[in-house]
Chain A
Amino acid sequence: MTTAAVPLSAPEKSRSRGPRQSIMSRSAAMLIMGVFTLYFLTPIWWLLVTSTKSGGDITGSAALWFTPDSFTTFFSNITGLFQYENGLFVKWLLNSALYAGVGAFLGTIIAAMCGYALSKYEFKGREAIFNVVLSGVLVPATALALPLFLIFSEVNLTNTYWAVFLPSLVSPFGVYLARIYAAASVPGELLEAARLDGSGEVRTFFTVSSRLMAPALVTIFLFQFVTIWNNFFLPLIMLRDQALFPVTLGLYAWNSQISQIPELRTFVIIGALVSILPLIIAFLGLQRFWSSGLGAGSVK
């Protein structure tokens, strides 16, 4: 791409029209972004406000603002949520943390090692492995939910933690990102130097290379965490026992019972709010990493 493709226009002309045009386009840009900020944030704001209301107030009060006793209602709603059916919701949160937290942590290490090897070593079958991994990216996990169910029922492992946890460890996209990142951020000379110092290949990876790949690892972790946290089809098809549910499946189950048990509506709403907080906090806290790592998948 060269700048020659841009047609030349008279510099004086654009300079004289510059300021007025730029105020106009500045305001237009701010207006567009402002309107869409409302679009993106209003539903979350509504969720926050509604979770501070009791059942009757949801329709009876101003929908997008708090009531005088919002503060106390919020805490009684939270207490009610956490105590309902002996703390079932807390169990769901812990399950999600286990599936997504531990799953993404192990999955990231496994994907990083594989992507690193595909990038840094020349070996037989390397391209073949990478092509298989890429096909894995194109066949998404949801298409595999039923096949996984069939194979887990062969070994009588449906309706167990393992049925959701083990398949979540595999992240072909993580391998793909790790390979690109390893190629870009781990210089071959450094590995050669480590070798001359007598460091083993595996030790070099964990002490030197993984640090250089840190932004990529955080990105892979975050996106695998979100994928597992959001996963719906696999737990839906695998799990019967409510005590094993992740929080999304649990809230789905409650939501589909609202017509029989109306009190669940309050818990569904405040439960939804509580369940999105961990992800929002994780994204805010790790923003520095993922915002630089995100582009890796597509940058030339």
Chain B
Amino acid sequence: MATLDQAQTPPGTAGSSRHISNKRRSTRKAVVVFVAPFAVLFVLFYAAPIIFAIIQSLLTVEREGTFGAPQQVFGGLSQYAIVFQDQAFWASVGRVLLFGVVQVPIMLGMALLFALLLDSPLLKGKKFFRLAFFAPYAVPGVIAAIMWGFLYSPSLSPFSAVTSEINFLDGSLVLWSIANIVTWVYVGYNMLIIYASLLAIPTEIYEAARLDGASNAQIAWRIKIPLVTPAIILTGVFSIIGTLQLLAEPQTLRSFSSAISSTYTPNLAVYTTASIPNYNLAAAFSVVLAIATFILSFVFLKATQRKVSQ
């Protein structure tokens, strides 16, 4: 992410003053043409929904008498008070945090190991491994959960010798069964991001190290890993975001496992609350979740960047 602040000097500064003012006018027009479509869509489908959700989350439904028509009135932070007292919601937040603390390091560790192996001279058939490991990324979360749901089930699984002994779908294991699905889908993707940045390292560095007598392991540990740290941070941020948003896999697995409640993850709680329908409370959940995601990935980004630059 080091390129973020890379400023670009304006193209060309020479020319007569008449020329420049003409050019300025035409580039200004061009910038509007280039930026406007994205800006308009971003405002309509990113900014406006967030603002609208915040407004909705500040409203509350009131009825005049028992049978009166429901009416939305300003309720201040009353929805947020409900959010912060909602134990099921906080249990779901705790669940995805536990999931993230365990699954993200395992997945990124695997991705890094595979990327280093692909980049090392030890391996034959690199192209095959690269494709085989990346293939699961082409499987949508819902489909992956359906497939693994069958593979986990005691009766249908081709590994029924194992699945009839260990119930991967009961309350104590199902979180880790979901973690396995997510890992299966995303390891290859993260591996490729890290691998691509390994390929960008000039090979002269390795030759120099090898002349100095460094082994493959030393080169990997002392040269490659520090140089691909920005890529690892990037994959880390995306994995954290993805973990907090978990929905498709647990929601799909609910048809295989009764251990997954309707508020198993924060997004499931949002969906369930919206289906009641209680839009004001669901909006408050969404706002809290969006802010938490933003803060967590931002803090992770800043913390790791400081560590890298030290």
Contacts and interface: CB of A to CB of B under 8 A. Distances in A.
A208 interface: no
Interface in A1-47: 1, 3, 5-11, 14, 22, 25-26, 29-30, 32-33, 36-37, 39-41, 43-44, 46-47
A111 B37 CA distance: 9
Contacts of B216: 25
Contacts of B139: 44, 276, 279
B259 interface: no
A114 to B, nearest CB: 4
B65 interface: no
A154 B52 contact: yes
Given A29-B122, A116-B34, A170-B41, A6 B214 contact: yes
A251 B38 contact: no
A33 B117 contact: yes
Given A138-B293, A140-B293, A111 B137 contact: no
A154 B48 CA distance: 12
Contacts of B156: 58-59
Contact of A232 (B141, B151, B233, B286): B141
A39 B151 CA distance: 12
Contact of B223 (A1, A132, A189): A1
Nearest to A296: B196
Contacts of A269: 150
Nearest to A122: B10
Nearest to B256: A255
Contacts, number: 332
A22 to B, nearest CB: 7
B148 A150 contact: no
Nearest to B245: A142
A140 B283 contact: no
A14 B214 CA distance: 9
Contacts of B270: 145-146
A147 B286 contact: yes
B142 to A, nearest CB: 4
Interface residues of B, number: 122
Interface string B266-287: 0100110010000100110110
B193 A110 contact: no
B140 A135 contact: no
Interface residues of A, number: 114
Given A114-B39, A123-B28, A139-B290, A144 B34 contact: no
B9 A144 contact: no
Interface in A42-63: 43-44, 46-47, 50, 58-59, 63
Given A6-B218, A47-B147, A110-B41, A298 B53 contact: no
A214 interface: no
Interface in A185-210: 188-189, 191-192, 195, 200-202, 205
B117 A151 contact: no
Nearest to B155: A59
Interface in A222-269: 226, 229-230, 232-233, 236-237, 248-249, 251-252, 255-256, 258-259, 268-269
Nearest to B45: A167
Nearest to A46: B158
Given A146-B286, A269-B150, A7 B218 contact: yes
Interface of B: 1-4, 6, 8-12, 23, 26-31, 33-35, 37-39, 41-42, 44-46, 48-50, 52-53, 56, 110, 113-114, 117, 120, 122-124, 129-144, 146-151, 155-159, 184, 187-188, 192-193, 196-197, 199-200, 205, 208-209, 212-216, 218-219, 222-223, 226-228, 230-231, 233-234, 237, 241-242, 245, 247-248, 251-252, 254-255, 267, 270-271, 274, 279, 282-283, 285-286, 289-290, 293-294, 297-298
12 contacts: A5-B223, A113-B34, A117-B34, A138-B237, A144-B290, A146-B285, A146-B286, A150-B279, A229-B140, A279-B139, A283-B138, A299-B200
Given A26-B123, A145-B267, A298-B196, 18 more contacts: A7-B218, A33-B114, A63-B158, A110-B38, A117-B34, A135-B294, A138-B293, A147-B283, A150-B52, A201-B33, A249-B142, A251-B142, A252-B142, A269-B150, A272-B147, A280-B138, A298-B197, A299-B196
